[in-house]
Each structure stands twice: as C-alpha cells, then as structure tokens.
C-alpha cells in the first residue's frame, strides 16, 4: 500500500534501480560457508588474540568491520593494530557471493535500514568483529613513537578477539572522563590520533564536519523526532587510524611496487570557476577566501570554516564549500586525494560494505606474495562501476531522508518556523528550517508584493520595483503550506 514505510523505501530503491533483497541462490551460497576457524587458518596468521583490542561503532551498528589494538613495546613505542574483517578469506572469486558483491559494489544506508552488500550471515555474523569471538582479520600494524611517527609497519593476515564493543558515545565518555573500560588504551590511542590529525591539517587536508540527520522512528517507521549526530573525538580516533591504514597500504603499493595495478581512491582539485563563484558569494557575509602562495586553498578554506563555526550562515557556507569541490571516485590511475592532502590513498578498511576494499585486499595479498595481478583494464571497469553504484546509493539515501522529512512535517501544516535560505532558483527559493533541517520551497509566484527576478551571480532573487532581495543564507520565517509525500516535496510561504 502506498504510504506504508516498506513500500516507500522499496520504491526509492527501485527508482535508483538498486536491490532490496538477496535471491535464494545467493543466500544458499552464504549458508554453505563454514563459520568455524580451523587450526590451519590460525597457523597461517599472526595471532593477535592476546593484545587488548576493541571496536567503536554507532550505537545501532550490526556489522563491525574494523577493530583497533594497542600494546606498548619494550622500547617504549606503541604497536597500533588496525584490524579489518577478512572478507576475501570467505568470498572467493567466481562464487555467486562474489558476483553479487561486485554487482552491488556497496551497502546502501536508508533512514530505517541497511541494504547490505553481503548477506547477513557474512556481514553481521561470520565476518563481523563481534566482542569475545575469534575472528579472521587483515591488518595494518604500525610501530609509532610518542610523536605518532611511523617507525615500522607490517601488513598481513591475523586472528583477533575483540575485548570490548564501544559505541561512539561510550568511547567518548572514556575519553572525556579518563575512566571506564580499557581507559589506558583509549587514552593513548586518542592522544596519537589527535597528533595524526594535527599533522594532516597542517599538510593541507580539508576539515569538513557535516552534521548527520538521524530520525526517531516508531514501530511503523513513522518519524517522531529529528536529531543530529555530531562528530566527537571518539569519531576522530577511529577516523585517523582508518585514514592511516588506507594511506599506508596505498603508499606501499604505489611507491614500492611502482606502476603496478592497484585501486586508488582519488579526489581531483576543484574547478577554479566554482571556487571563484564561492569566493564572490562569501564576500557578502564579510568573509574572504584569502588564497595565495603562502596560504594554499585548503588552508584558506579551513580558516574560513573555522571562522563561520557557530554563526547563522555556517550550514549554508559549508554546503556551498562542499559543492565547489570535486567528487572522490575509484580509479587505477593515481592522481592523489586533494581533500585529504594525501599523495596516495585507497579504501582498505570496510570490505563488509564496499567492494573496492575487497579488490584492495586481493591486490595487496598478490603483492605481498610476489604475484602479478595482470593489467589494469579489468580493475578500471570495476572502479567505474563501483563509483557509479556509490553515487546511486548516496542519492537513494538522500531520497529516503527527504521522504522522512516530508513525512515528519506533514502534521505541521500552518505552523511557523525560522529558516535559512538554502537555495535560489528562477522558480523560487529553498528554505531550510533551522531546528530540524527540513528543506522546502517558496514558489516565486507566492511572493506577491513585487515581480522577482533571479540574479544568478549574486545567489538571490530581486524585486523589480522595490529592489528587495532574498539571498542565499538569509534568515526568514516561514509557514508550512503543503507536504507532498509522493513528490517528496515541502511547500512553504513567508510567515
């Protein structure tokens, strides 16, 4: 029935030609995989089960594909292990599971569900690094000194047993209070991660912290509230070590095995015209993107993002800054990652939910075993497909958020809210309500006090007679007029 939560979520997936379930054959293929770890499996791996190890994930996570371990070495340095679910140990080339993962290329995250890349038997059970269970992993292990400098590194297959499953909130509490489970390990990793982060930004990485929208849903999937997931230092702890593993794996292949076939995550420089338009726009708010030889664009951008923090125009400037950037994609041709300021970068840390990470695991294994994977063509095609599927998954996720926002606002017709103009077009202005980030549109014909014209240069519409302007970033009060669930559209008018 239209309007039912499952129907609507399936309709969104269908709109983007994305799957919503596995065939019986694929599920049967997953059932055949033995869950038991054999003595031969253990013998072929570095045994890390005695090292203090934990996972940090969102509260509602079901699959845990990365864990961190820490121990102090005799010389006073720290051995940090970044352990990733060893998916390619279970999913073999030529199998039905492999073909399915290759086709899907990514897990899809809608508001109320995950459509996984691999069946649940693998993603939530066999491969997932669940607390207190022996698990097969693929690891990047680093010896770091007190300044977070890499003294030694090792890549290879391991076996671990996670002592603790933290949610981000729980880990944050340990960081903030210095008390709780594994407090010593968490404190050291937090300190090292913050040093890595400082280095990364001083090298010119961008600092985009987008706020994530989360819905409170009732048992029928109806939204009862909207909250925002903020990024804390516990998120940064995980992020910095995942970035470190991704970067060093890419460097190992890119530098040491020069010219060899590999899958990179690349991010191009932004289009100068987009940056110039953005620069022109922020002047209206009294900001400057002061970019010169001494201050390259990333530094100038970070300074700007720091300046707008907490200001009413923060969201709009961050959104436009992001739009002025190129999109990251997968490729066998390495041009570096501009946004992270890394010369070499790949995706190694999430093979449960991303097919490119599975390719990276296989290619790395071939290089560690001194084998040759052959030409790039096959991998380039898979990179293109993975980039395309990732884009579709992101669009579907946005559509599901939009649907829930419209549903959330549908009982608020006639109510007034304060909003910020988040988009300007020739047919009207888009307004985002400040308290819940629900975006709707005021049609240009609703503005009856004048004849308004679109000024593309200045991101505004202007009254022909009064000269009155409605500009991107302006705060205005709106009234909710209509919530159209089928079109996923909200209509507002000036309050």
The domains of the chain are located at: 5-268+328-406, 272-323, 411-494
Greater pLDDT, 196 or 318: 196
Is residue 209 scored above 80 in pLDDT? no
Confidence of residue 116 (pLDDT cuts 50, 70, 90): very high
Pairing outcome for strands 78-85 and 134-144: antiparallel
Class of domain 411-494 (CATH, top level): mainly beta
Q: What is the pLDDT of residues 323-366, one digit of tens each?
A: 888 999 999 999 999 989 999 999 999 999 999 999 999 999 99
Q: How far, in Å, CA of 268 to CA of 5, rounded?
A: 39
Query: What pLDDT does 293 receive?
Result: 65
Query: What pLDDT does 313 receive?
Result: 75
Q: What is the pLDDT of residues 221-257, one digit of tens each?
A: 999 999 888 789 999 999 999 999 999 999 999 988 7
Mean pLDDT of the chain: 93
Q: How far, in Å, CA of 168 to CA of 426, rounded?
A: 43
Is residue 259 scored above 80 in pLDDT? no
Is residue 457 scored above 80 in pLDDT? no
Q: What is the pLDDT of residues 59-81, one digit of tens each?
A: 988 899 999 999 999 999 999 99
Query: What pLDDT does 247 receive?
Result: 98
Is residue 188 scored above 80 in pLDDT? yes
Q: What is the pLDDT of residues 371-391, one digit of tens each?
A: 989 889 999 999 999 999 999
Query: What pLDDT does 3 receive?
Result: 83
Report the percent of the chain where pLDDT is more than 90: 75
Confidence of residue 157 (pLDDT cuts 50, 70, 90): very high
Averaged over 187-199, what is the pLDDT?
97
């Amino acid at each position: 029935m239209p309007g039912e939560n499952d129907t609507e979520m399936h309709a969104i997936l269908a709109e983007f030609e994305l799957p919503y379930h596995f065939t019986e054959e694929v599920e049967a293929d997953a059932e055949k995989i033995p869950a038991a770890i054999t003595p031969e499996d253990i013998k072929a791996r570095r045994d890390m089960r005695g090292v203090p190890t934990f996972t940090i994930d969102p509260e509602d996570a079901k699959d845990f594909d990365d864990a961190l371990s820490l121990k102090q070495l005799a010389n006073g340095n720290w051995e940090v292990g970044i352990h990733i679910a060893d998916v390619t140990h279970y999913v073999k080339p030529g199998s039905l599971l492999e073909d399915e993962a290759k086709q899907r290329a990514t897990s899809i995250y809608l508001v109320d569900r995950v459509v996984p890349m691999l069946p649940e038997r693998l993603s939530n059970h066999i491969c997932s690094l669940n607390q207190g269970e022996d698990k097969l992993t693929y690891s990047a292990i680093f010896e770091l000194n007190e300044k977070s400098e890499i003294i030694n590194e090792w890549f290879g297959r391991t076996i671990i047993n996670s002592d603790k499953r933290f949610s981000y909130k729980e880990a944050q509490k340990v960081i903030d209070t210095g008390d709780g489970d594994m407090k010593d390990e968490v404190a050291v990793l937090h300190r090292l991660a913050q040093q890595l982060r400082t280095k990364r930004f001083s090298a010119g990485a961008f600092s985009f912290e987008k706020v994530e929208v989360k819905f409170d849903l009732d048992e029928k999937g109806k939204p009862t509230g909207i909250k925002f997931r903020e990024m804390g230092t516990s998120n940064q702890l995980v992020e910095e070590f995942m970035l470190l593993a991704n970067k060093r794996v890419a460097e190992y292949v890119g530098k040491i095995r020069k010219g060899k076939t590999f899958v990179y995550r690349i991010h191009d420089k932004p289009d100068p015209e987009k940056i110039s338009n953005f620069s022109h726009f922020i002047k209206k708010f009294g900001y400057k993107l002061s970019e010169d030889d001494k201050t390259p664009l990333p530094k100038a951008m970070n300074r700007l993002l720091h300046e707008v923090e907490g200001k009413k125009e923060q969201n709009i400037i961050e959104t436009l800054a992001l739009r002025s950037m190129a999109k990251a994609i997968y490729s066998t041709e390495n041009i570096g990652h501009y946004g992270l300021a890394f010369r070499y970068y790949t995706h190694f840390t999430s093979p449960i939910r991303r097919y490119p990470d599975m390719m990276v695991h296989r290619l790395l294994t071939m290089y560690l075993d001194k084998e040759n994977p052959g030409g790039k063509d096959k991998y380039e095609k898979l990179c293109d497909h993975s980039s395309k599927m990732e884009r579709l998954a992101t669009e579907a996720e946005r559509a599901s958020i939009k649907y829930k926002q419209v549903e959330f606002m549908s009982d608020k017709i006639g109510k007034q809210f304060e909003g910020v103009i988040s988009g300007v077009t020739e047919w009207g202005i888009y307004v985002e309500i400040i308290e819940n980030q629900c975006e709707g549109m005021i049609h240009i014909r609703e503005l009856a006090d004048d004849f308004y014209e679109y000024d593309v240069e200045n991101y505004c519409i202007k009254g022909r007679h009064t000269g009155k302007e409605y500009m991107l970033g302006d705060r205005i009060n709106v009234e909710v007029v209509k919530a159209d669930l089928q079109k996923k559209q909200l209509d507002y008018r000036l309050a």
